[in-house]
Structure 1
Amino acid sequence: MSMKNNELETKSELQDESLFDKTVGRRSFLQYAGASAAGIALVAAGCRKDRGYDNPVMGGATLDFKDDFGVLNYAYALEQLEAAFYVKVASAPPASFTAAQKAYFQDIQFHEIAHREFFKAALGTAAIGSLEVNFESIDFTSSASVLATAMAFEDLGVAAYNGAGPRLKNGTFLLLAGKIVSVEARHAAYVRDLISNGSFADLNSLASLGANNSAGLDAALTPDKVLNIAKTYIKTKINVTNL
């Protein structure tokens, strides 16, 4: 099957499945994940065309930061949130979105699905289940509301990866996290520019998230601060230990 046909098949599936039951095809997943040769076997094992998760969250989720798996589960939780948001936007974008905006939000959707599926595969049986989101505060018919939420999610995602990176001890995981956060930063820059042209490199506006413009450093937040912000959009109770 060609890449084009594979992408069309994946997009067709996205129209029929619920927010947290999306999967991305194997070729698209490897393309977006950018996995190293040593990690391809692990990645491919998590890319089967299943319709849902094997371990849905029941009564809450626990993020135990005692080791790398806790950090990966933390990233997995945030990628679930982002993927759910972009799937919803891509399936029914605001009427005022341009064709270019619709196309780009489709691309972001597949990036976030790929990120989510990577962490699910890497964690295996140690992965937390699927989280329940709360998007009641978002007006998905309003481009202003969608763009503002996208900016908040992307800025928070970058700060989350930067803040959690030092906790990773495995060099392979750290490398892949670096590849993912660079993509998240591209998303953040694009969305910021849509809201206010030319603002994509404005670090001063991110000072509250830990950015330092004079040093040329992007935002970084510890997991407790990130989760405190993200909880507005997550119904599932998240317990944190060994932070």
Structure 2
Amino acid sequence: MKIFEKDDQELLSEEKGFFSKKLQRRNFLQYAGASAAGIALVAAGCKKDDDFSRGLDLGSGDIGILNYAYALEQLEAAFYTQVALTPYTGISSTESGYLTSIRDHEVAHREFFKAALGNSAIPGLQVDFSSINFTDRTSVLGAAKAFEDLGVSAYNGAGYLIKSADYLTLAGKIVSVEARHAALIRDLISNGTFVGSDIIDANALEITRTPIEVLSIAKKYVVTEINASNLPS
């Protein structure tokens, strides 16, 4: 069952067209040699510190920011793929439809970035979901809430670092979909709580996080060491 129907499917189609036309017009085809290798997302355990000056280099400039977003989309896509593969105990058909649709969106976002970055794309990340009990509704929805809230704050916090107007437009389209996901997950946890004081300030503005703040939170689930030292600031 698809819960996100016509409007969201049209948005995803528009984003595909956006990539195709905008990247050609701006001569970004130098980044279009996407690898034929699939993304390997392997669950494993590993403890890391907060040093983001070593490991897999995200790059600099707009390419670095796109790789940063690509890393987060890999993480989300891997999570929702696992949710769909191993539904939690007692999941309803409605909730299954919601979560499957979100998975489809996250996979589409991941593939958008992979295509745009081409040979500049970072490899697939290794992830660690051992702290999530995929058989338990509370654990899964709690993790989904954390991922979605983190993703929205990440896009909002990195937007001003993007120099290309084309890329900024794309990021705005994606974060609006992520925010819809976040609102839905919150509502599934507790009906009517689609937004909370933990994610907005006194002016009802969404909170933002810097790339380092986001990666420090996300590293709980990411085995691959990520070097963010060359990102713009």
**For residues 125-204 of structure 1, what are the structure 2 equivalents within 5 Å?**
125-202=119-196, 204=197
Partner of 2:48: none
Equivalent residue of 1:232, what SS? coil
> Across the two proteins, how many residue pairs are aligned to each other?
206
Residues 182-211 of structure 1: CA deviation (Å, up to 9, x unaligned)? 000000000001111111022x122xxxx3
Instruction: Report if aligned partners of 1:138, 1:146 keep a CA contact under 8 Å in 2.
Output: yes
Structure 1 position 34, deviation (Å): 4.8
Equivalent residue of 2:178, what SS? helix
Residues 14-43 of structure 1: CA deviation (Å, up to 9, x unaligned)? xxxxxxxxxxxxx99952735326238689
Structure 1: how far apart are the matches of 2:72 and 2:79? 11
Partner of 1:35: 17
Task: Select the structure that is richer in helix.
Answer: 1
Return closer, same or farther for 1:217/1:30 CA change in 2, 3 Å cut-off: closer
Instruction: Report if aligned partners of 2:157, 2:209 keep a CA contact under 8 Å in 1.
Output: yes
More contact order relative to length (CA 8 Å, sep ≥ 6): 2
2:112 corresponds to which letter in structure 1? F
**For residues 76-95 of structure 1, what are the structure 2 equivalents within 5 Å?**
76-95=70-89
Structure 2: how far apart are the matches of 1:135 and 1:227? 16
Structure 1 position 95, deviation (Å): 2.1
Structure 1: how far apart are the matches of 2:103 and 2:134? 15
Structure 1: how far apart are the matches of 2:67 and 2:120? 8
Structure 1: how far apart are the matches of 2:151 and 2:69? 9
**For residues 216-227 of structure 1, what are the structure 2 equivalents within 5 Å?**
216-227=204-215
Identity over aligned pairs, percent: 51
1:233 aligns with 2:228: no
Return closer, same or farther for 1:144/1:116 CA change in 2, 3 Å cut-off: same
Q: 5+ residue gaps in structure 1?
A: 1-6, 8-26
Between 1:192-201 and 1:29-38, the stretch displaced more is 29-38
Q: Segments of 4+ in structure 1 off by > 2 A? A: 27-37, 39-43, 45-48
Structure 1 position 216, deviation (Å): 1.9
Q: 5+ residue gaps in structure 2?
A: 3-8, 41-53
